[in-house]
Amino acid sequence: MTERTGQAGDGTGGSVPTTPVCYRHRDRETYVRCSRCDRPICPECMREAAVGHQCPDCVSEGRRSVRPARTAFGGGAAGRHGYVTKALIALNVLVMLLSIASDRGGDAAAGGSGFGGLMGGATPLTQWGGVLGYASYVDFGAAHGIAAGEWYRLVTAMFLHYGLVHLLLNMWALWVLGRTLEAVLGPLRFLALYLIAGLGGNVAVYLFSAPNSTAVGASTAIFGLFAAIFVIMRRLGRDTSAIVPILVINLIFTFTVPGISIAGHLGGLVAGALMALVLAYAPRMRRTVFQAAGGAILLVALLGLTLVRTGLLTGG
């Protein structure tokens, strides 16, 4: 019932319709109707539409029936805001501050040996969370490292840095590459790419570096992003000529600058490329399932390599 009728007493004995009332507020008269369902709506119930106004029920129904926008690779459109990229940068900065605080007056921020002393030195936090294969600390007899069961190092190392210069270089690259990839892939797929690339680089450090050496830095994940943006742009048919020189320059630095983990950079590059191939070339039908399965296979492979290296170091 959308209108009230009654005997108006017009002198002829007939009934005259009264003013329509809002279907949600029966005490409010209105001549405005929903452009979708034609029910009377009062000013409080009016919702702006492309044509005229709609009632709250029709607006809610329309939102349920409209599929959310997706990227070319199945990700959410929220990626264009770069929330994950910003969160990763904030997390790295926070960990750097904690690392400096843990050093208590040392060379955590600068004054280390790298880049003519511009890089920072080790801190208790980098010692705790860096990629370490299997070794005893100077003041302790017990063995530490991934082979000793400290698997968390494979993750924590990608959020630790040796000083502010190390941090700033990586965060600048993450800001430039991350926003582009997150907008194309969506937040969740971009985060999966970042973590798989970082983990892949750290596993490579564990496999190919000396067991008593320590490595930290987001550059394992950053190199994965370099590889991924090349794969993604090629998949979209876009020009990649500007990406190749930057990647080559970074590889030259990797092999020529002392103190840089070659294994970590190359491992991140390979892992990032493989994850990007999974995300970019997944078939459109059941794309999410294929992407999740591909990521899981890469994760299992990395964990398998870690187990093999652990067995070699411990004799198990």
Residue that wins the pLDDT comparison between 111 and 108:
108
- The CATH number given to whatever domain includes residue 168 is 1.20.1540.10
In whole angstroms, give the CA distance from residue 208 to residue 200.
Answer: 12
| 94 and 239 inside one domain | yes
By residue range, what is the domain housing residue 86? 77-314
| 137 and 157 inside one domain | yes
| 91 and 228 inside one domain | yes
Region 120-137: what's the mean pLDDT?
85
| 165 and 29 inside one domain | no
| 157 and 211 inside one domain | yes
Answer whether residue 72 is part of any domain: no
Last residue in a domain, options 46, 66, 86: 66
Chain segment 211-230, per-residue pLDDT in tens? 999 999 999 999 999 999 99
| 39 and 152 inside one domain | no
Task: Single out the residue of 209, 218, 208, 240 nearest to residue 227, CA to CA.
Answer: 240
Residue 112 and residue 139 in contact, taking contact as beta carbons nearer than 8 Å: no
| 230 and 306 inside one domain | yes
Neighbours of 3 (CB within 10 A): 11
Annotated catalytic residue, options 144, 161, 166, 265 = 265
| 6 and 154 inside one domain | no
| 11 and 82 inside one domain | no
Active site residue 219: yes
Active site residue 265: yes
Residue 182: CA count within 13 A, CB half-sphere: 21
Answer whether residue 60 is part of any domain: yes
By percentage, how much of the chain surpasses pLDDT 90? 45
Answer whether residue 71 is part of any domain: no
Chain segment 35-94, per-residue pLDDT in tens? 888 888 888 888 887 677 888 888 887 776 555 566 766 667 677 888 999 999 999 999
CA-angle at 158, arms to 157 and 160, nearest 5° = 65
Query: Over 228-273, what HEC string results?
Result: HHHHHHHHCCCCCCCHHHHHHHHHHHHHHCCCCCHHHHHHHHHHHH
| 20 and 44 inside one domain | yes
Q: Of the ranges 121-130, 133-142, 159-168, which one carries the lowest mean pLDDT score?
A: 133-142
What's the pLDDT band for 120 if we cut at 50, 70, 90? low
Annotated catalytic residue, options 99, 209, 219, 261 = 219
Answer whether residue 9 is part of any domain: yes
Tokens 């969370």 label which residue? 129
| 40 and 140 inside one domain | no
For the chain, the domain total comes to 2
| 38 and 120 inside one domain | no
